[in-house]
Amino acid sequence: MKKLSNQFKLGIAGAIVTALAGVVPTASAGDGPSILFEATVGTDAANCAATTEITVFPGSMVNYCYTVTNDGTVTFNTHDLDSDAFGNLLSDAEVTLAPGESFEFFNTQTASSTVTQTATWSAFSDTFTITTSDDTGGPAFNFIDISATGTPLGLGDDAEADVVMGFSFNLSGVDSTDMTVGNNGAVRFGITGDDIAFTNTPLADDVPGNLIAPFWDDFDSESGDVFHETVGTAPDRIFIVQWNDRPHFNGATDAQTNATVQMQLFEGSNEIQFHYLDVLFDNINNPDWDNGGSATIGVGGGQGAAQFSFNTPSVSDSFAISLVPTGVPAGGSTDTSMTTVTVNEADIEVPQTGLDYVLNADQMDSQDLDIMNVGTLILNWDLEQGTSRATRQFERLAGMPAIKSPDTNASMGPAPIPSLSTLPAGKEADAPAPILLGTGTAASAVRSFGDPVQTLSEFDISAPTTVNDILTDAAYDGLFAGDFVGIDFTTLYALRGADNELVSIDTTTGAITSIGFTLPPPGAELWSGMSWDPITGDMYVNSATNPGSTLFTINLTDATTTLVGTMTTTDLIIDIAFDINGNLYGAALLTDELVGIDKTNGALTSIGPLGININFAQDLDFDYTDNTLYLSSCLSNLDCGRLFTVNLATGATTEVGQIGGAVGEYTAFGIQGVAFCDEPVTWLSFSEIAGSTNFGQTSTVSVMVDTTGLALGNYEADICINSDDPDEPITVVPVTLEVNDLNNDIIFANGFEAPIPVR
């Protein structure tokens, strides 16, 4: 039995490979590639359990065991393992699995909430034998410079050109002389008029399967060019594409050196070679670009992918790679298995959606509030009451970092939402005293791009020019969606666009904690929006591509998502936001308009044009102190970080100012406006303010209203039930009170009067 283990807490990836043990033979299912796959769950960290369903207490360690058996006749060489609960667990894992062999993979998790997962194991046979110039018998470095003799393509940033080779070449069973050459370090073989996106992905995610990628990265075009040429004589000709002296984006502003990379296709043998003359950009702000650290290198795509590396510094100057087809057809075998881990937890239900009182002046009354626990652990709760829409002023405490002034000459990084064809070519010491940034409402946001890049920042939404940078950290990269839960402004939840990772951010220190990985959005969609519903207590998230957007809810304890519905297939909803009444709004990127969203099915209603041309990452959030919608926007790659208010009736925007006065994309935008239970009211009280409710039981609290001393009229308040229900930490019950002057009613002032005597 071959065994792998991936022992990590939720959200911390990376396999720990253990010793490979013996073989467990199984009966063959017949000719061809075939696997049997089973996932099980147990509490023994060293051995696979025989069960697919268990029940545990919070904090228990659970061993998810994944066992795959080759029951076909084709040897498998690489493996992928994906879980809709935990994300990608294995990607191109290199384990040889001959017919009849089995091996296991362990994934240890700390149980925090109930998880039902569907796991998918995919096993692939090598379609190419890969060797390098460092290997015995590998290719020699043989860079054939064609910069003076080849045909220049004159490619601009993110551009492509169609090229016809001088001979026919075969890639994965397809014979062709055609290809699309992209500026971004790769070609599409056997097809013309295609696209090489500026955002590289793992080759397994590149579904067409026709990619040849010597150095798929975000090349710019300020220097050098891309050349092609056929050299030699038949039947031993070589077709060459050379990316010569190309800078990394953004070459217009980033001080750096340039890269030179070459692809060689060999006639007859169909061998592919990559030769690397210079792969050092020497960019002081982005050393991870060097040596392929931000590139995809390999051939093919999908199940037929032969990936050498992804975002890994795997190549160097004067280095060569050879990929020789093995004759094994592209493809493999896939199988799925399901497990359920039920975690005992409290689960609050409150049947009363609101309490309404109609009283005389100087009267008292009470109604019951039922706190039900439909979970499997004791529910602890406490009650608060107060008026809605109380104002919270923005003031930092002493000892927080001092205000920093962003560099207004900031250079832009790559745009956060890839493959949007409508985007423009540019792609768009401790303080000695309290820091007072303004008198308005506070907001937290991640500066995903700008200068300094990848920073957690705070500012006053009424005067956003001054920004307090809490922490600069590369871990903020790609956190496009974010929001607070309830009135807890110490934790900002955020979702990483392309990596499907949910995190929490401590807004005091900036520290990031990984929660887990989500079910990937359908197709090529990326997570782009997040908003908390103040009525239901659910967190909603949306994904987007060009075009298309989908709406989900997300569990903040384990990152599992639930599909709500498709919002659009013709536009792109870049962000969403709930108002104080639980109405959901969105910003449509392609039509530049405000839309209303049905939170039960995702259906859209057009409200009106924003009046601005939004591009790249945008973020919406409401200030619950006055129910005003704000938009943190980019209009171009050199015009970002602008803050607007949005008219909910027309969609029209009004500019407030530029956040930080610099060019930067501010995402994961959360406004710290208090909506509920902020200022206590004198006329509302409870028979008890805290308690515990056993599972399956109900606690009943008397909610008492006293109109003594109140003027005639209508009053509103909220009851906030704070509990340790992990899915609903705050339950809000609105209260209305109508105070009438019943003393002026002669007939009923003292109740029903005695019958009038009959004469």
At 704, the amino acid letter reads M
Q: Does pLDDT of 433 surpass 60?
A: no
Confidence of residue 462 (pLDDT cuts 50, 70, 90): confident
Residue 493: which CATH number?
Answer: 2.120.10.30
Whether residue 270 sits in one domain with residue 192: yes
Please report which confidence band the pLDDT of residue 451 belongs to, taking 50, 70 and 90 as the band edges: low
Residues 267 and 231: beta-carbon distance below 8 Å: no
Do both 238 and 310 map to the same domain? yes
**Which residues, other chains included, contact 136 with Cβ-Cβ below 8 Å and sequence gap of 6+?**
none
**Mean pLDDT lowest for which of 77-86, 264-273, 578-587, 720-729?**
720-729
Asked whether residue 704 is assigned to any structural domain, the reply reads: yes
pLDDT of residue 8: 25
The whole-number pLDDT of residue 178 equals 96
- 407 pLDDT exceeds 80? no
Among 675, 669, 621, CA closest to 493: 669
In eight-state DSSP terms, residue 140 is: P
Question: Quick check: is 50 in a domain?
Answer: yes
pLDDT of 661: 61
At 343-363, the pLDDT tens digits run: 998 999 999 989 999 999 999
3-state secondary structure 587-611: EECCCCEEEEECCCCCCEEEEEECC
Contact between 383 and 704 under an 8 Å Cβ cutoff? The reply is no
Q: Cα–Cα distance between 646 and 652 in angstroms, integer?
A: 6
**Same domain for 187 and 104:** no
Is residue 401 scored above 50 in pLDDT? no
- Predicted local confidence at residue 743, as pLDDT: 58
Highest mean predicted confidence (pLDDT) among 26-35, 271-280, 476-485, 600-609:
271-280
Q: Could you read off the pLDDT of 699-744 as tens digits, one per residue?
A: 999 999 999 999 999 998 889 898 888 767 778 888 999 999 865 5
> Is position 723 within any domain?
yes
Asked which of 343, 373, 403 is the last residue of a domain, the reply is 343
Residue 228: pLDDT over 50: yes
* C-alpha distances in Å from residue 329, one per residue of 31, 72, 302: 14, 15, 13
412 lies in some domain? no
Confidence of residue 11 (pLDDT cuts 50, 70, 90): very low
**Looking at this protein, which amino acid is placed at residue 384?**
E
Of 671, 687, 708, which residue sits at a domain end? 671
pLDDT above 70 as % of the chain: 83
The answer on 259 and 184 residing in a single domain is yes
* 742: nearest Cα among 751, 731, 753: 751
- pLDDT(461) > 70: yes
pLDDT digits (tens, 9 = 90+) for 718-728: 898 988 887 67
pLDDT at residue 616 above 80?
Answer: no
434 assigned to some structural domain:
no
**Measured between alpha carbons, how far is residue 687 from residues 65, 369, 382, 699, 733 in Å?**
50, 10, 12, 11, 16
Domain residue limits at 561: 442-671
pLDDT of residue 304: 67
Looking at the domain assignment, is residue 430 inside a domain? Answer: no
How far lies 688's CA from each of 261, 272, 363, 387, 467, in Å?
A: 73, 76, 21, 19, 43
CATH of the domain at 58: 2.60.40.10
CA distances from 349 to 379, 418, 536, 537, 699 (A): 11, 42, 11, 12, 11
In single-letter form, the type of residue at position 293 comes to G
Read off the pLDDT of each residue in 421-425 and give the average, rounded to a whole number. Answer: 29
The 3-state DSSP composition of the chain as helix, strand, coil percent (nearest 5) reads 5, 50, 50
- Does residue 651 share a domain with residue 584? yes
Predicted local confidence at residue 302, as pLDDT: 66
Question: Could you identify the residue written with the tokens 């689960």?
Answer: 347
Per-residue pLDDT tens digits for 106-126:
999 888 778 899 999 999 887
Which range (314-323, 378-387, 410-419, 600-609) has the least confidence? 410-419
pLDDT at 440: 64
- On the question of pLDDT at 752 being above 90, the answer is no
Q: Which of 168-177, 197-206, 352-361, 444-453 has the highest mean pLDDT?
A: 352-361
The C-alpha atoms of residue 742 and residue 438 are separated, in whole angstroms, by 47
Q: Are residues 140 and 120 in the same domain?
A: no
pLDDT at 536: 83
The predicted model gives 410-435 an average pLDDT of 29
pLDDT value of residue 498: 75
Summarised one tens digit per residue, pLDDT across range 242-259 is 999 999 998 778 889 999
Give the pLDDT score at 84.
Answer: 83
Q: How confident is the model at residue 695 (pLDDT cuts 50, 70, 90)?
A: very high
Q: Are residues 571 and 631 in the same domain?
A: yes
CB atoms within 10 A of CB 523: 10
pLDDT at 663: 66
- Residue 704, pLDDT score: 97
CA–CA separation, 645 vs 653, rounded Å? 5
Q: Is 605 exposed, middle or buried (0-12, 13-18, 19+ CB in 10 A)?
A: exposed
Residue 744 is predicted with a pLDDT of 54
Residue 756, pLDDT above cutoff 50: no
Q: What span, in angstroms and rounded, lies between the C-alpha atoms of 343 and 375?
A: 10
Q: Between 528 and 636, name the one with better pLDDT.
A: 528
pLDDT at 429: 30
Please state whether the predicted TM-score (pTM) of the whole model is above 0.75.
no
- What pLDDT was estimated at residue 408? 27
Confidence of residue 151 (pLDDT cuts 50, 70, 90): very high
Same domain, 657 and 682: no
Whole-number mean pLDDT of the chain?
82
Q: Which amino acid is at 501?
A: E
Q: What is the pLDDT of residue 392?
A: 30
The lowest-confidence range among 390-394, 531-535, 549-553 is 390-394
Contact between 20 and 2 under an 8 Å Cβ cutoff? The reply is yes
**Banded model confidence at residue 393, pLDDT cuts 50, 70, 90:** very low
- The C-alpha atoms of residue 254 and residue 248 are separated, in whole angstroms, by 8
What is the rounded CA–CA span in Å between residue 367 and residue 441? 35
Residues 119 and 216 in one domain: no
**Which pLDDT does position 238 carry in this prediction?**
98
Distance between CA atoms of 339 and 391, rounded to whole angstroms?
A: 47
Residues 6 or more apart in contact with residue 751 via CB below 8 angstroms: none
Same domain, 654 and 734: no
The reported pLDDT for the residue numbered 260 is 98
Residues 278 and 323 in one domain: yes
What's residue 489's pLDDT?
Answer: 85
Per the structure, the count of domains in the chain is 4
Q: Please report whether residue 6 resides in a domain.
A: yes
Residue 258 is assigned to a structural domain of this protein: yes
Do 520 and 633 sit in the same domain of this protein?
Answer: yes
